[in-house]
Amino acid sequence: MFIRAYLRASTSEQDASRGREALDVFAAERGLRIAARYVENESGAKLDRPELFRLLADCESGDVLLVE
């Protein structure tokens, strides 16, 4: 089982990694460690989100996905 974190911001002016610390704390409080992070600045209205699709391709049964 891997813990995978996905962080996204809608515009290049926003910081997609802003929630990283919160996800790290959330995982640590539960005795877990995030194994992979996927960070991108793409609009949620667009389907062209390479990091999201890389995340989905990497996931296996039993993996946990944290989304900020």
* Residue among 10, 12, 17, 43 flagged as catalytic: 10
Dist CA 34 CA 41 (whole Å): 20
Known catalytic membership, residue 10 = yes
Q: For residues 18 and 24, is the Cβ–Cβ distance under 8 A?
A: no
Dist CA 55 CA 51 (whole Å): 6
Q: For residues 4 and 67, is the Cβ–Cβ distance under 8 A?
A: no
Which residues are marked as active site? Answer: 10
